[in-house]
Chain A
Amino acid sequence: MASETTTPTVLASARPARPALRYAGLLWAIGIALLLPLFTAESYRLFQLTLAAIYAIAILGLNLVTGYNGQISLGHGAFYAVGAYVAAIMMDKFGLPYWSTLPSAAVVCGLVGYGIGFPALRLGGLYLALTTFSLAVAVPQILKYKGIEEWTGGVQGVLVFKPDAPFGLPLSNDQYLYLLTVAIALGVFLLARNLMASRIGRAIMAIRDHGLAAEAMGMDAARLKTSTFAVSAGITGLAGALSAIAVEFVSPDSFQVALSITLFVGMVVGGVASIIGPAFGGLFVVFVPNLAEEVSKAAPGVIYGIILIAFLFVLPGGVAGLLRRLAARLHR
């Protein structure tokens, strides 16, 4: 990893407006593809897809700060953990409804992200990457700390319950949770897309690509970086809260350093600095480890690592990079 100069290879600059018709058609296709599993997939598959959607949200959060803003974070699992614990504690200790935990988790993580980002982002580059990585390693230990054990349940963690579908909807709770997660994911993805297409989004990318020039033009780089970090942490925290509800359990062991690595892998595989990329990243991190296990029970980790390396060899720009190339070919 690298030096101060980040290469601006993947530039997702504002695209020319597409014909409205094709855009609508695309949305319909996506909508149907997302709803289809609701009626065809077994509930275990739905659960997996729910997890994939949750990871996709978390990866999107990471992508904002790392992909778009060029600040490498290897510790986003920390915000995922905080979000999950906020949700679990609110539900278990205060008996609050599940839906109220989602915005709370996002806000709390946003604040935590702001607090951590404020000093950490002044480090930049490699130092930031390693500092956030240490944060990811320290998280389980902090969660176990005896001073907060009364709330976090210490090493035993906290058990929560899945919500039933509201308004007497004829859905199982796996179906409902899938629907809820996908709806939230869509909302977050649209918001992120609009944010990145806006003036602020361009400023965020300008800071990544030409930091000094951006500052010379009057952008407050430090403030913008910190705010991006906060938004990114908030989105990842929201995903964490959803994961606590879906898995119905949080414990320090759920948020080991491997989680942060998983999010990072999802981002790179899906495509750095891409809005749609994290969706593929989410699918990758849920399904590919199972695939690796089918290949070899003796050492699934080796196979997973080889698949990851091979994937990056074939698609250095991730799935989104491939889509972009295909789209470019179609448009020619």
Chain B
Amino acid sequence: MLNRRTLLAAGAAAIAGPLAAPRIGHAADLTGVTADEIKIGSIFPYSGPASAYGVIGRLQQAFFKGINDAGGFQGRKLNFLTYDDGYSPPKAVEQARRLVEQDKVSFLFNTLGTPSNTAIQRYMNQRKVPHLFLATGADKWADPEHFPWTIGYQPSYRTEAQIFAKFMLEADRNAKLGILYQNDDFGKDYVNGVKDILGPRFDAMVKPVSYEVTDATIDSQVVQLQSLGCDAMLTAATPKFAAQTIRKVFDIGWRPKLHFITDVSISVGAVMNPAGPEKGVGVITAAYLKEPTDPAWANDPGLNEWRGWMRQHMPDADQTDGNYVYSYGVAKCMMQVLTQCNGDFSRENIMKQATSLSGVAIPSLINGITVSTSASNYHPIRQMQLAKWDGHTWERFGGLIEGAG
């Protein structure tokens, strides 16, 4: 137990710690690392409204256990501590402090949710604890100037929306775009991304309509967009509502020239088949992950590696759930960072290596897309590829698109 004086000192240090510019390379902070283990912290919603994402954390538990059972990593055990925040920011703060102050983990990895990560970002940077590869598609994690200890992972929703808007302008300069978005940070990023590209033309060209997660259906919104005369559509919705949208758009006989859909909702098993595979023909997305239920990847070596791993370590898990593919990939990326550390597991070096990845290939990413970071580039995955639904599979077209950073 700490005595009062050390407590005070720790408290004072926490207050005094400047937000900007950590001096990486100073006295090495080896908290959470001993001769035989490295402590890794993580926070997921295992309960509450976002429990669907709990599977990401469950795979990572199995992943690190698998490494430990096989003798550990470079002679060390990877002690993965993961807690539940129920997708509630106050609980996330509590759990982050528990991991950092009580369990004394070396770093946090893949903590999920934009609100939860916003709540703990400043704390992590004050404490100078690496806050790695966040499981959220918000744009704001790439801010090395103010938050050098926080780095995201996937391409941002905003980037994806920009790609869609550019594509639309090339196809038809005078399209009238209807956006159906979930009224939260996820959905609003798509509206903002389109705004980035259209600028002053946004108000004239775009009709955004929101839905709430508590809505039963989105029928009313779809009918509204159709009757406003929109001839292009962007759906920024979670799988259940995306499937409803594709079906409703088709059923009311509306045939928008273009229909874009967020890559969050491209699962063949959970979106396209429930909606009716024939009803979504022509829908366009921009993906970076391989979708496990897409027949295009049936014999892909990368996904086969994942399938083999799943059979061995999580035989009862639902292999149609794309979250498992995501989770496996980001865990692989983490292992690359630890390998690059080359035995020096100080917090400074872990952060340095996490921001010195160059062209790392990961089995879950669409072939050709790689992970690259640098001291000034905190966008690990910047590339996506457009794909069109042909009734059976997502047919990719065009080259890899580099998002704005």
Contact = CB atoms under 8 A, between A and B. Distances in A.
Do chains A and B make direct contact within the complex (CB under 8 angstroms)? yes
Interface string A43-58: 1110110010000000
A178 B48 CA distance: 28
B94 A51 contact: yes
Interface residues of B, number: 45
Nearest to B115: A253
Interface string A156-196: 11010000100000111111000000000000000000000
A243 interface: yes
B51 A44 contact: no
A253 B87 contact: yes
Contacts of A323: none
A154 B1 CA distance: 42
A251 B89 contact: yes
A258 interface: yes
A298 interface: yes
B101 A42 contact: yes
Residue from the set A48, A175, A251 with the largest chain B CB neighbour count within 10 Å: A251
Interface string A33-74: 000000110111101100100000000000000000000000
Contact of B11 (A174, A286, A300, A301): A174
Contacts, number: 123
Contacts of A42: 1-2, 7, 101-102
A23 to B, nearest CB: 31
B51 A247 contact: no
B82 to A, nearest CB: 7
Main secondary structure, interface of B, reads: helix
Contact of A157 (B84, B91, B102, B115): B115
A251 B184 CA distance: 11
Contact of A251 (B58, B91, B118): B118
A61 B93 CA distance: 25
Nearest to B86: A258
A141 interface: yes
B46 A157 contact: no
B35 interface: no
Given A144-B183, A258-B48, A297-B61, 11 more contacts: A39-B4, A172-B14, A247-B93, A252-B184, A253-B89, A253-B113, A254-B115, A258-B88, A293-B46, A293-B84, A301-B51
Interface of A: 39-40, 42-45, 47-48, 51, 137, 141, 144, 154-157, 159, 164, 170-175, 243, 247-249, 251-254, 256, 258-259, 286, 289-290, 293, 297-301, 304
10 contacts: A43-B7, A172-B10, A173-B15, A174-B11, A175-B7, A248-B93, A249-B89, A249-B118, A256-B48, A258-B86
Closest 6 A/B residue pairs (Cβ): A172-B11, A301-B47, A253-B115, A44-B101, A249-B119, A155-B185
